[in-house]
Structure 1
Amino acid sequence: MRVLDSAAQGTAGVALVGGDAGIGKTRLTSELAAEARERGFHVLIGQCAELGDALPYLPLADALRGAEPAVREAAAAHPMLGQLLPGTDNASSAGLTQQRLFGSLLGLLADLQPVLFVIEDLHWADRSTRDLLVFLSRMVQSERVCVVGTYRTDDLHRRHPLRSVLAELKRLPTVMSVELGPLGSGEMSDYVATLGEVDAHGLGLIVARADGNPFYAEELFAAMAEGDSLPDELASLLMSRVELLSEAGQRVLRAAAVAGRRVEDELLREVSGLPAAEFEEVVREIVSRGLLRVDGYGYAFRHALLQEAVYTDLLPGERTRLHAAFARLLTSPAELAHHYLAGHDLAGALSASVEAGRLAERVGAPAEAHSHYDQALSLWERVREAERLAGESRVELAFRSALMAADSGDNHRAATQLRALPPTSRVSERLAYYLYELDDREGAIEAAERAVESAEDQVALARALATYARTLLWTSRHQEVEELSTRALETARAAGARDAEAGAMLTLATFVEVRGDLARAHELVDTASAEGTGNLAMDLRARFHHARIHYEQGLLADAADVADGGVRLAFETGLKWSTYGTDLRFLRFLIHYLAGEWDQAEAVAAGFGARVGTVPEAILSSFALFIEVARGLPAVEGRLSWLRPFWPDELVSYMSRGLAAEHALWQGDPEGALEHVRAAMAPLVPGETGVVRLAAVGLWALAELGTTEGADELRASARLAVEAGPTGDGGHMGAEGLAWAARVEAEWHRVHGRLDVELWRGVVSAFDFGFVYEVARARWRLAEALLAAGDRDAAQVEFGLARETAGKLRAAPLENALLDFGRRARFGSGGSGGSSGAGVPGDGGLTAREVEVLRLVAEGLTNREVAERLFIAQKTVSVHVSNILGKLDASTRTQAAATARQRGLLD
C-alpha cells in the first residue's frame, strides 16, 4: 500500500511484485485495486499473454478495453491510444509512432490522476510492453500515478528478457521491489480455514502438501472436498479435477487451453463443434467447478497454472488440430501466425507474420514488427511462392525488418541486417545514417558515398546526398559540406523529396552558422521549418535548430517563439519525451533562465526529477541546477548527491560540476569550487567551447583564494576554445560563448589584483544580449572596479542596478554578496545613499571573503581560529591574510587592521 499512499500524496511510484506461480500475486493486486477504487483512483488492469511478442501492447489494450467509460473516452481523445480500442482503424502515422504512443499514455495518466495501472504476468510481456514499463518507471515522478507489475520468479530462466529489465528498474529510486515468499505453516493453516470446513487431519495434509503456496492449497482443498485422493504433483492434482468433467467438458476445456488464458465465447463454441445448447450446458459445468470463470464476452482460466497443465496434457496431434481450428476462425494476424506455426501451416504462418508485422508498425511496436518480419524471413526458404504470400520480395522484407530494428533502438542489429543486403542506394543511405548514430564516422562516410554512387533515381540521390553531407559535418572534410548540401537541396526540390530537402537545409544551416554567416543560417532554418515534411522527427529537428540558432545569437524573443511552437507540436503529437521534444523543452528552460523569467524556469525545472537512475535523466536533472544554484535553493545538495554517481559521464560532469563549483563559491568554498572545475575540464578535448565557462568559474575561485597558480592555464584553455570555434578551425562562436570569453579575461586580471574597469564594462556589454542574471553579476564586479578606481558615484549606479535585478530574480546568493559589498563600500542599506563614508574611498580591491577574514584578524583571532569560525582550511586563511597585507600595503596584521579601520572597512 506504500506506493499507493505516495501516489495519493503526489509522489509517483512503481512496485514490482514477484513470486512463484500461485503464491498470491493476483490476490494482492486485486486487494490493492479495491483499495485504490475506494480512495477515488481510476484503476487500469491489463494482463500479458503466453503469446509473448506476438501481440504488442496487449496488457495496455486489455486495460483500456476493460476500463470504465470515462477512461475509454479520455483514451479515445489521444489518437495513438485510440488505435488500441476495439473498432478503431489502425491508420499509419507520420513516424516516431512508439514515442508518440508512450507520450500519449503519459498524457492520459496525467489527465486521469490519481490512477493505478496494474500489468499482470510480466514474464509473458512483449518487448514493447517491457519498454513501456521502463518508460513509465522513469518518467512518472510528481504525478499521482502508481504502476504495479507482477511476474513469476520461477519462470525467469537465466536468459529471460525480463531479467535485465528488472535489474535496471530495481536500481531506480521510484521503484519498490516486493518478493512474495511461501506462507509459514501457521499462516497457511489460517488461510485454509477461510476456505471452508476441514478436519484437523485434512488441514494437516493440505498444509504439508501445499508447501506454502496458497493456490496449491486451494486446489488440495477442492480435491479433498470432492472426495479425491491427493496426488503429489501439482499438475496431477490439477488434471485430477479436470478428469471429473464429462467427456464433452474435457474437450471444451482442452480447446480453451489452446486459445490461451482467455477465449471468446463464440470462438470457443465454434472450435468445440458442439450445438449451442449443449455447449452452454458444458461450459456451465466447467464454470461451476471453478476451472473457468466468466470474463467479459468470454471465459478465462481461474489460474494460468491450470491452463498450462491442460495444454501440456494434450497429445501432439490433438494440439496441432486445435491450433489449426483456431487459425481458420481468427482474424488477428498475430494470433493467426501463432496458431499457424503451432499447427505446422508454414505458408499460413509466413503470410500472417508479415501482416502482423505491418500491423505492429502501425500501432507503434517496432520491436514486435521486427520479430514478426524476422519470423517470416526464417520461413522464406521452406515455403513455396513466399514472395506472393508476403506481397513483397525477400530483400524488401529484410530492409523493412532492419528499419524496425533501428526504430526499436537496436541500430547494431539494423546495420548488421543492412550489410547482408545488396548495397542499393536506399540500403546504403540507411546504413550510413545508423552508423553515424553509432559514432562509426568512417563507416558512415563510406556507406554514404556508396549510396550517392548507386542512386537509381533523384529521390534516392537527394536522400543520399543529404545524409552524406551530415556525416561529414564534424569531420576534417567539413569543407565539402556546403557543396554537398547545396546539391542535395537542388536535387530534393526537383524530385519533391521534402524530408531530404529539410535535412539538407538544416545541415547547411549549421555549417554556415559556424562559419559566421548568420543571415543565411536564419534564412535556411526559417525555410526548413516553415512547412511540415510529413516526417515528425524531421519537423521537430527543424524547429529545434531554428530556435537554437536564434538562441545562440542572443535573439531570445525569436528563440522563445520558435521553441514554443516546437514544444506545442511535441505535446500535440505525443512526442514530449522524444529526443527533439526533450531538447526543445531544455532549450525553452534556458531561454526562460537567460531572459530573467525565473519563476517560469523554476516551474519547468520542477519536472526535471532529482531522483535519477540513468545518464539521460542525470543530464536532464543537471539543467535544474542553473536556477537552484542561482536562487540558493535547498534542493541543490540533494540533487547533487543523486548526480554524483554519474560524474564519470562527460556531459553530466560538465553541467553539474560546473554549477556545483558556483554553488561552492557562494558557500565560501573556493577550494571545493576549483576541484569541481578541474574535474569537469579534465575529460574535455582542448579547444572545446565548453571550456570557456568553466575557465571563468575557475578564475573566480582563484581570485577568492588569492592565488595566481593555474590562472594562466585556465585563460590559455579559454582562448584556445575561442580561436578553434565549434569546428576546431576558427568557426564562429555564439553570443553567450563570446560573453564568457570576455569574463575570462576580466577574471584573469582580477586574480592578479587588477580590477579593470573597461574589461568589466566589456563583460556587461557582452552579456547584454538578454542574459539578465549575468549582466547583474558583471555589474557587481564593475562596481567593485569603479570603487577601487575612485569613481564612487559610477560604482553606486552599477551597484544599484545589480541590486535591483538580483531582487527581482530572487537570486539570494548574489543579493547577499551585493549587500556585503554595499556595507563595505558604505553605500547605505538601499544601495542609493550618498558618499557619506569617511576615509579613503575604495577598499583596496579586497574580495568579500578577504574582508570577512580581515574583520576577524582585527579582533585578534589566529589563523586557526579564523578557519574554525569561517569553516575553511587554515591554509586558505593564510593565503587570504598574505593577500590582504599586500593589497593594504601593510607589513603586519596589526597595521592591516589599523588601515582597515581608517578606511571604514570594518564598519
Structure 2
Amino acid sequence: MLPDVESRSVSPVFVGRSTELAALTEGLARATAGEPQAFVVGGEAGVGKTRLLEEYLAAARAAGAVTTVGGCVELGADGLPFAPFAAVLRSLHRQLGPELAAAAAGQEDELARLLPELGEARQSAGDELDRARLFELTTRLMEKLAAERTLVIAVEDLHWADRSTRELLGYLFRSLHRARLVLLATYRTDDIHRRHPLRPFLAETERTRSVLRVELCPFTRPEVAAQITGIRGGDEPPEELVCTVFERSEGNAFFVEELIASRSDHGMSESLRDLLLVRLEALDDGTQEIVRLIAVGGSAVEHGLLTEVAGCPEGQLLAALRTAVGANLLTADGEGYRFRHSLMREAVLDDLLPGERTRLNRRYAEALAAHPQLVARDQRAARLASYWYQAGDPARALPAVLDASVDARRRYAYAEQLRLLERALELWDGTPAEVREAVRPVERPEAYPACGAGKGPLRLLDLLAEALTAAQLSAQRDRARAIAKQALRLLEGESEPLLAAWFWLQRSRIADVLMPDAGLEDLRRAQELLRGLPPSAVHAQVLAHLAAQQAGRRRSPESYRTVERAVDLARLVGDESTELHARFTLAGLKADAGDVAGGVAGMTAVRNRVLERREVSLMGRCLINLPATLADVGEVEAAAAMSQEGMELAHRYGLEDTEAWLSAIYARVMAGLGRWDESAAALAAARRQARTSRPRAAAVVAAGQLALDRGDIDTARAELVVALRESSGQRVTAQVALPLARLRVRIAVADGRIEEARDVLRTALTGDYPPFTSGHVWPLLLTAATAEAELRDLPEAAVGRAAAVRGIREAMSPVPRSMPLWEAFEALVSAELLRAEDRDTAAHWARAIDLLRPLPVPVPLAEARLRRAEALLAEGGGAGGRTREEAAGLLRQARSVAARVGARPLREEVERLARRAGLGLALSGQAPAPVRGATGGFGLTRRERDVLALVAEGRSNRQIAEELFISPKTASVHVSRILAKLEVSARGEAAAVAHRLGLAARTGPPRVAVGPGADRTGTGRT
C-alpha cells in the first residue's frame, strides 16, 4: 500500500544468531525430506525474534518453500479465537488459491470456521468432539498442502494467544507425522509470569521431543557494536557510544535501535517509556494522532477501517502513515498497519488519557458497526465487542459481546466463549432493563432444553447456564462449579424447581469428573426438586446420569431399575439423545450380567442410530464400549473387527481420543491372540493419537505389560513411571486402574518386593467390582496368584503368604465366571494358589487346559501346559515312561507358542525345565530323546542325587562330606555341578527344586559318621 521506506535505525546487517539460524535451517532441510519440524522461539521483548524470523523466512523462500505468518492479537480479556491460523489460512488461500480449495474439498463447511472464504460454516452440536474434528481437519489440510512442497508456518506473539490457538498449535505439534512442514512460534519470555496461561503449554512442549525450544539471549558487546555499525551505514562507532548503548540496552536489539535513533536526534531519555515515545513526540501532531488511533485499534488495523475512523482526507492520512512508517514506528503489511514492535504500542496506549482512549474506541465501534465489511468476517464480532466494551457503553457492549460469544462457540473456542460470557455477566447490571429485555437468548437452547430457553427475553439465569456449559466444554471445572453456585444462589426462594434441578445436575456432573460419587448428594437434591413435577427432559437426564453412576459403581438390581426408568422417561418426553445414552447403559449391563448376545445387540442398535443421527457427543462412547465389551467376554474376533471399523469412523469424524482408545483395545485383542508385533504397533498409534491423559495412560500400561511378557524389565519400569505420571491427579477408571495395578505387581515381584506387590493388590481390590471390569480383574488375580506360587520357596516371601493366598481366594468369590474366558481364568487362578501351597496336581492344570483349549488365548494355554508338565514330572519323580512323554509333548507345545510370539521368559522357563528333566524338545513331533550323558532324573548322577538330598536337608558342605565319606572339596564340586544342572544360583533354590520335583529322596541307605551312639549302617541304634 505504501512504497518501501528506508529505515535509518534498523541494521541492514543481520547480526549474531548464527547458531539459532543454523538450527532452523537444519530443520528446514529435514522438513524438505518429509520430516515435519516444530520450533518454539522465545526471548524478551525486543531481543530480535522477529528479525530472526524474517531472515529465516527469506532463506526458506529462496530455497523454494512457501511461507506464511500469523500473529496473535492482543484484545485483553476478550481474545480472538484462532486469529493467527485464520491469518495463515487466508495468506495460503491468496498464495495457493485452487490448491487450497482442492485440499479442503468436502470439508469446506467445517474449515470455514477458520477461513470464512471457503463458504458457510456448518451448524452442529458444538461440543468438544466437533472441536476435535476441526483440529484434525486442520491437521489434514496442512499435510495435504505440504505433501508436494515445503511449507513454513509461523505464529508470532504466542504470549497473546487465546486458549483455542494454543490448543490447536499443540495439537499440530503432536499430530503431524508425514509432511514437508515447519511450524514455528515465537513468544516473549518477559511476559510469561507465574500464572500466565502460556506456561503450561510451554511445559508440555518440553515433554514433546519433536518440538525444539530456541531461546534468544541478549546480544553480547561485540554484537551490539556490529549492530550499531550496521545502523550507521558501516561507520564504526566510537568506543564510548558502544559502551553506553550496551549498558543501557543490556543487549536488547530493539533498545539498541531506539537508543541510537533517539541519541542522534533528541538526546537520551531517562526512562524506558520516555525512550520509546521519543520518536513519536518528534513527529507532527497529525501523525501522532494517527499513531495513537492505530494503537487503540489493536495489534493490526485494516486500511479501510482506519480511513473510516480517522475521518480525514485520504491524502492527509497517507502522508501521516508514510511518516510513521519512515520513522520506523509502523509497518505496512499489504492490508493494513501494525506497530513495528509491540513495546511501542504499549507505550502509546499507556500515554493516552482515559477519556481519550474511550473516545477513540467509540469511533472504532461506530465505524465497524456501520461498515462491517471493513474487517475479516471471522474477526468482526470479537473486535466489535471489544471496542464497545472499551468505549464504556454497556447498552451497546452487551449485545455485541453476546454475538461474539456465539461466534466463539460456533468455532469451538469454548474458553474464549466463557470469557465473553463472563464479560456479559459483568455488563448485565449496568445495562438498561429495556436493552436486556430486547436481547434474545444466546444461540444455545440445547444447554438446558427443558427450562424454556429461547422462548422469551434473555435472563441472567440463561446467561449463567450458557456460561456453565462453556466452562464444562473448556474443562474449566472450578469456574463451572462457581457459576453453578452463583445460579443456585439466585434461585433460592424462587419457584423454579425444574431450572434448579438442572443446575444441581450440572454440579453433579462436574464433581463426578473429579472423583467417583462426589456428585451424588447434588444429584439427590436434583431428584428431590423434581419430585411431583410433570415428566420432563430434566427428569430423564437426571435418571440417565444416576443410572450411569450406579452402573459404574456396583452390580445391583437397582441399576437395572434406574436405567429402565430413564429409557422410558426419555422416550416419553421425546428426548432421544438421553434415551440413547440410557439404552446403551442398559445394554452394557445386560452383557456384563451374562446376556452377551442381548447386550451386544442392544449396544449395536444404539451405535447404529447414533451414527445415523451423526450425534458426535454420543459416538465416542458407542465406538469404544462395544468392542471393549466384546474383548472382555472373549469375543476377540468381533472385538478386533469392531475396533478397526471404529478407528476408521473416529478418524473420519476427527475424534482422536476415541481413536486412541480403540487402538488400545485393538492392541489388547492382538496381545491376547499372541500377535504381539501388531499389538505393539497399535499401542504406538494410540500414544500418538491420544490428546488426554487417560487413553494415553491405558496405552502406556499395556506397553509395559507387553515389555514384561517379552522379558524387557527395564522398558517396563520406564513405562510404569510414565503411566503413574499420566494418571496422577486424574480420575482413573477401573478399566485403567486395574491394569495399572497389575503392572505394578508384576514389576514389584520381578524386583523381589513381594510385600509391595501384596499392598498394591489389596488396594486395587478394595470394595466392590463395578460392572465391565471382570476382563481386567481376572488377569490381576492371576498375576497375584502366580507371584505367590513363584516365590513360595523364598524365606522372605513365606511371611504373610497364607494371608495373601486367603485374600486372593476371598477376592475371587464375587467375580463373575459366567463367560467361558472368565471360567478358564478362574481355573488358572485356583491352580496357581494351590501351587503356592505346594498342593497343585497335574489334574488341576488339566482342567485349566481343557477350559483354555477352545479359546483364542495361546499364551495362557502355553503357561498352563508348562505347569502341567512340571506337575507331571514332580508326581513321577522325574522318572521315564508315559509321564515323561506327555510332559515333553506339553513342553514342546508351550515352547512353540513362546517362540512364535516372542515370549522370551516363557520360552526360557520351558527350556530350563526340559533340561532339568533330561528331556529333548525336538519340534518334529517325535518322542523326546534323553539328554546326552544323563544317568538319572534331570541329568543328575546317583552321587549327585545323594548330595542334592542332603542339600535339601540343609546340610553344609562339611556335613555332606562327613555323611558321604568324601572330602569337603569334593562335596563342594558336587554342589556346584548340581546348581549348574538345575540352572539355579543358590543352595536354597536347589533345595526348593528337589522338594518340588521329588528329588530329595536318597538313592541308598543313609551313611552317617561313626560316633558314640551310632552304628555304621545308619540304623540309629543308641
Is 2:911 the counterpart of 1:802? no
Mapped to 2, the partners of 1:804 and 1:281 lie a distance apart of 86
Report the 3-state secondary structure (helix = DSSP H, G, I; strand = E; otherwise coil) of the residue aligned with 2:609.
Answer: coil
TM-score (norm 2): 0.76
Q: Deviations over 1:239-262 (max 9, x none)?
A: 222234343322222221111221
Q: Deviations over 1:177-235 (max 9, x none)?
A: 5544432322211222232334415444433432211001112233455x332323333
Report the 3-state secondary structure (helix = DSSP H, G, I; strand = E; otherwise coil) of the residue aligned with 1:671.
Answer: coil
Mapped to 2, the partners of 1:618 and 1:242 lie a distance apart of 56
Is 2:394 the counterpart of 1:346? yes
Mapped to 1, the partners of 2:63 and 2:415 lie a distance apart of 37
Question: Residues 105, 777 of structure 1: CA spacing in aligned structure 2 closer, same or farther, 3 A cutoff?
Answer: farther
User: Which sits farther off after the overlay, 325-334 or 653-662?
Assistant: 653-662
Question: Residues 145, 216 of structure 1: CA spacing in aligned structure 2 closer, same or farther, 3 A cutoff?
Answer: same
Mapped to 2, the partners of 1:538 and 1:66 lie a distance apart of 36
1:61 to 86, 92, 115: 86
Report the 3-state secondary structure (helix = DSSP H, G, I; strand = E; otherwise coil) of the residue aligned with 1:596.
Answer: coil
CA displacement at 1:364 relative to structure 2 = 0.7
Report the 3-state secondary structure (helix = DSSP H, G, I; strand = E; otherwise coil) of the residue aligned with 1:21.
Answer: coil
Mapped to 2, the partners of 1:697 and 1:13 lie a distance apart of 43
Residue pairs, 1:243-262, within 5 angstroms: 243-262=281-300
Question: Residues 34, 609 of structure 1: CA spacing in aligned structure 2 closer, same or farther, 3 A cutoff?
Answer: farther
Mapped to 1, the partners of 2:245 and 2:623 lie a distance apart of 67
Question: Residues 880, 347 of structure 1: CA spacing in aligned structure 2 closer, same or farther, 3 A cutoff?
Answer: same
Report the 3-state secondary structure (helix = DSSP H, G, I; strand = E; otherwise coil) of the residue aligned with 2:608.
Answer: coil
Is 2:860 the counterpart of 1:774? yes
Report the 3-state secondary structure (helix = DSSP H, G, I; strand = E; otherwise coil) of the residue aligned with 1:816.
Answer: helix
CA displacement at 1:357 relative to structure 2 = 0.8
Q: Deviations over 1:87-115 (max 9, x none)?
A: 24333323323333334344455654786
Mapped to 2, the partners of 1:717 and 1:557 lie a distance apart of 34
Where does residue 433 of structure 1 map in the other structure?
Answer: 509
Amino acid at match of 2:545: T
Q: Give the number of equivalent residue pairs.
A: 874
Q: Deviations over 1:454-509 (max 9, x none)?
A: 76554333323222322333457943222222222223234432211111112222
Amino acid at match of 1:207: F
CA displacement at 1:756 relative to structure 2 = 2.5
Question: Residues 608, 859 of structure 1: CA spacing in aligned structure 2 closer, same or farther, 3 A cutoff?
Answer: farther
Where does residue 927 of structure 2 map in the other structure?
Answer: 834
Is 2:649 the counterpart of 1:625? no
For the 8 Å contact 1:76–1:82, the answer to whether it is kept is: no
Mapped to 2, the partners of 1:861 and 1:37 lie a distance apart of 79
Bigger Rg over Cα: 2
Residue pairs, 1:718-797, within 5 angstroms: 718-725=808-815, 736-754=821-839, 756-767=841-852, 768-788=854-874, 790-797=882-889
1:376 to 418, 424, 437: 424
Where does residue 162 of structure 1 map in the other structure?
Answer: 198
Mapped to 2, the partners of 1:135 and 1:816 lie a distance apart of 44
For the 8 Å contact 1:514–1:733, the answer to whether it is kept is: no
2:463 to 388, 392, 397: 397
CA displacement at 1:405 relative to structure 2 = 0.5
Amino acid at match of 1:607: A
Report the 3-state secondary structure (helix = DSSP H, G, I; strand = E; otherwise coil) of the residue aligned with 1:606.
Answer: helix
Question: Residues 711, 158 of structure 1: CA spacing in aligned structure 2 closer, same or farther, 3 A cutoff?
Answer: closer
Report the 3-state secondary structure (helix = DSSP H, G, I; strand = E; otherwise coil) of the residue aligned with 2:86.
Answer: helix
CA displacement at 1:549 relative to structure 2 = 1.9
User: What residue ranges of structure 2 are gaps of 5+ in the alignment?
Assistant: 1-19, 373-379, 442-457, 492-496, 877-881, 941-947, 958-968, 1006-1022
Where does residue 900 of structure 1 map in the other structure?
Answer: none
Q: Deviations over 1:559-605 (max 9, x none)?
A: 2222223222221111112xx44322221221222223333212122
Mapped to 2, the partners of 1:843 and 1:697 lie a distance apart of 32
Where does residue 995 of structure 2 map in the other structure?
Answer: 886
Q: Give identity over the alignment, percent.
A: 29
Mapped to 1, the partners of 2:562 and 2:104 lie a distance apart of 46
For the 8 Å contact 2:781–2:812, the answer to whether it is kept is: no
Mapped to 1, the partners of 2:600 and 2:654 lie a distance apart of 28
Is 2:42 the counterpart of 1:18? yes
Mapped to 1, the partners of 2:937 and 2:617 lie a distance apart of 61
CA displacement at 1:555 relative to structure 2 = 1.0
Question: Residues 185, 612 of structure 1: CA spacing in aligned structure 2 closer, same or farther, 3 A cutoff?
Answer: farther
2:680 to 602, 613, 629: 602
Is 2:344 the counterpart of 1:306? yes
Mapped to 1, the partners of 2:924 and 2:751 lie a distance apart of 27
For the 8 Å contact 1:429–1:448, the answer to whether it is kept is: yes
2:121 to 90, 95, 120: 90
Where does residue 655 of structure 2 map in the other structure?
Answer: 575
1:472 to 550, 558, 567: 550
Report the 3-state secondary structure (helix = DSSP H, G, I; strand = E; otherwise coil) of the residue aligned with 1:531.
Answer: helix
Q: Deviations over 1:294-325 (max 9, x none)?
A: 21422221111122222222333332222112
Is 2:550 the counterpart of 1:485? no
Mapped to 2, the partners of 1:107 and 1:312 lie a distance apart of 43
Is 2:157 the counterpart of 1:121? yes
Report the 3-state secondary structure (helix = DSSP H, G, I; strand = E; otherwise coil) of the residue aligned with 1:473.
Answer: helix
CA displacement at 1:675 relative to structure 2 = 5.9
User: Which sits farther off after the overlay, 377-386 or 72-81?
Assistant: 72-81
Report the 3-state secondary structure (helix = DSSP H, G, I; strand = E; otherwise coil) of the residue aligned with 1:554.
Answer: coil
For the 8 Å contact 1:654–1:681, the answer to whether it is kept is: no
Mapped to 1, the partners of 2:743 and 2:536 lie a distance apart of 50
User: Which sits farther off after the overlay, 49-58 or 343-352?
Assistant: 49-58
Amino acid at match of 1:325: R
Question: Residues 481, 750 of structure 1: CA spacing in aligned structure 2 closer, same or farther, 3 A cutoff?
Answer: closer
Is 2:640 the counterpart of 1:560? yes
Report the 3-state secondary structure (helix = DSSP H, G, I; strand = E; otherwise coil) of the residue aligned with 2:186.
Answer: strand
CA displacement at 1:164 relative to structure 2 = 4.8
Amino acid at match of 1:408: S
Mapped to 1, the partners of 2:60 and 2:924 lie a distance apart of 57
CA displacement at 1:126 relative to structure 2 = 1.5
1:100 to 125, 133, 149: 133
1:287 to 322, 325, 347: 325
Report the 3-state secondary structure (helix = DSSP H, G, I; strand = E; otherwise coil) of the residue aligned with 2:301.
Answer: strand
Where does residue 221 of structure 1 map in the other structure?
Answer: 260
TM-score (norm 1): 0.85
Where does residue 742 of structure 2 map in the other structure?
Answer: 658
Mapped to 1, the partners of 2:459 and 2:280 lie a distance apart of 48
Q: Deviations over 1:415-458 (max 9, x none)?
A: 33234244424334333333333331422431441464376554
User: Which sits farther off after the overlay, 565-574 or 805-814?
Assistant: 805-814
Question: Residues 196, 535 of structure 1: CA spacing in aligned structure 2 closer, same or farther, 3 A cutoff?
Answer: same
2:187 to 151, 158, 162: 151
CA displacement at 1:625 relative to structure 2 = 2.3
Mapped to 1, the partners of 2:252 and 2:270 lie a distance apart of 14
Amino acid at match of 1:215: F
1:182 to 206, 210, 218: 218
For the 8 Å contact 1:552–1:735, the answer to whether it is kept is: no
Amino acid at match of 2:267: S
Amino acid at match of 2:123: S
Report the 3-state secondary structure (helix = DSSP H, G, I; strand = E; otherwise coil) of the residue aligned with 1:232.
Answer: coil
CA displacement at 1:134 relative to structure 2 = 5.2
Report the 3-state secondary structure (helix = DSSP H, G, I; strand = E; otherwise coil) of the residue aligned with 1:382.
Answer: coil
User: What residue ranges of structure 1 are gaps of 5+ in the alignment?
Assistant: 726-730, 845-849, 897-907
Question: Residues 523, 815 of structure 1: CA spacing in aligned structure 2 closer, same or farther, 3 A cutoff?
Answer: same
User: Which sits farther off after the overlay, 753-762 or 112-121?
Assistant: 112-121
Question: Residues 544, 373 of structure 1: CA spacing in aligned structure 2 closer, same or farther, 3 A cutoff?
Answer: same
Where does residue 382 of structure 2 map in the other structure?
Answer: 334
For the 8 Å contact 1:705–1:879, the answer to whether it is kept is: no
For the 8 Å contact 1:691–1:721, the answer to whether it is kept is: no
Report the 3-state secondary structure (helix = DSSP H, G, I; strand = E; otherwise coil) of the residue aligned with 1:151.
Answer: strand
